[in-house]
Structure 1
Amino acid sequence: MAAARMGRLRANGCALFVCDVQEKFRGLIHHMPAVIETTSRMVRAANVLDLPVFVTEQYPKALGHTVPEIAKDLGQAEVFSKTMFSMCTPELETAFAAKGGIGQVLLCGIETHVCVYQTCLDLVEKHNVEVHLCVDGVSSQREVDRSTALRRLSQLPGVFFCTSEMATFELVGDAKHPKFKQISSLAKETRPEQLSAL
């Protein structure tokens, strides 16, 4: 019980959510290269650690599909089209429930103040799921919207801020972990200019 209050990440019962990292937003989002790189690395880490991955695309007919840098590593992950802002569509919720026992979600994507924010609210309030928000993997078109959303989310119970590297090393937990070298290799990759926590 104490571990749950502290927000300690555990690979058993954790999933990755990728929110709307789509082609149309490439030139619009503040520090979009960092969002893409971080999300790509988190997808690959999820693959290494066998975490379920859930992906949404906001109205892809107009906004395009998930950027290829991320899409190429999605494998069997199901991609859900949506018009509502939260990722928690009825279709995704059904697939999420079918996995069973997921109590923690790592979350990357855009935009922080709309789809990411509302996803956090739904996961915590409706599903009693801890959200671990990768601050180096979420952004908005305007920095003021991103920073305001992060300040608001920092006040919510059940929402924990982390960086992608912080999360992946916590999931591994020990240099003797059989997947440590793969996770360590991901952490050493060159990164674009990073996003700040707030």
Structure 2
Amino acid sequence: MRRPRPERTALLVVDVQEKLSAVMSEERMADLNRCAHILLGAARELPLRVIFTEHYPKGLGPTNAALRRDLEGLGALRVEKTSFSACGASGFGDALPPDLDALIVIGMETHVCVFQTVRDLIERGFAVHVPIDGVVSRRDDHRQVGLDLCTRAGATLTTAETLVFDLLEHAGHPAFKALSRAMR
């Protein structure tokens, strides 16, 4: 397993959309929102490149309003898709710079779009980190199957906090104080 390096890592937010979010458990959505807050803070401070997808927004609505404001504030690239895997979306490959070798993937649903995206990214040679606090499905058993499939595909399961400390490497990093405060 390779350590993620900020200059070669991107955050990918998969399909955190209004209509889909409305059918997820409140507890899991709270976890995902906290994870996104932590990782978007890391993206701002380190910085990390950020990409977000929207699956058929005409039917599932746009990305949740608060998250979308944060994403747009970071200059995140939006990719619209109808394929379950983000890798099948027109323009997604162009959004991945040639020096990129790792992605952090959060979003929904774990057993469908997240898993298929993770598998396809790994097949393309990327190291993929999936924070378990940042992925949701309507049913917990489907979420667990999705996490198991991600692991079998070669992803590293982790948490938002673990990733941030791994990206920082040491407490002397200039972003350490700001990011550690955000995780309290």
Class of the TM-score when normalised by the shorter of the 2 chains: over 0.9
Contact 1:7–1:160 (Cα < 8 Å) also in 2: no
Alignment-derived partner of residue 183 in structure 2: 187
Cα distance per residue 1:56-115 (max 9 Å; x no partner)? 00111121111122112112111111111111123111121xx22110000100000000
* Distance in structure 2 (CA, Å) of the matches to 1:79 and 1:137: 19
Matched, 1:163 2:159: yes
Mapping of residues 101-180 of structure 1, within 5 Å: 101-125=99-123, 127-157=124-154, 159-180=155-176
Alignment-derived partner of residue 79 in structure 1: 78
SS in 2 for 1:12: helix
Alignment-derived partner of residue 18 in structure 2: 23
| TM-score, normalising length: structure 2 | 0.92
Structure 1: gaps spanning 5 or more residues: 1-5, 189-198
Give every structure 1 segment of 4 or more consecutive aligned residues whose post-TM-superposition deviation is greater than 6 Å: none
Residue 152 of structure 1 and its aligned partner are, at CA, apart by 2.1
Alignment-derived partner of residue 194 in structure 1: none
Contact 1:107–1:133 (Cα < 8 Å) also in 2: yes
* Distance in structure 1 (CA, Å) of the matches to 2:109 and 2:170: 33
Task: Tell me the amino acid that sits aligned with residue 94 of structure 2.
Answer: T
Residue 26 of structure 1 and its aligned partner are, at CA, apart by 2.4
Aligned length: 179
Matched, 1:47 2:44: yes
SS in 1 for 2:149: helix
Contact 1:16–1:106 (Cα < 8 Å) also in 2: yes
Alignment-derived partner of residue 7 in structure 1: 2
* Distance in structure 2 (CA, Å) of the matches to 1:22 and 1:131: 22
* Distance in structure 2 (CA, Å) of the matches to 1:65 and 1:41: 22
Alignment-derived partner of residue 91 in structure 2: 91
| TM-score, normalising length: structure 1 | 0.86
Q: Which is richer in helix? A: 2
Contact 1:15–1:105 (Cα < 8 Å) also in 2: yes
Residue 36 of structure 1 and its aligned partner are, at CA, apart by 2.2
Cα distance per residue 1:124-158 (max 9 Å; x no partner)? 11x2001000110001001111111112222223x
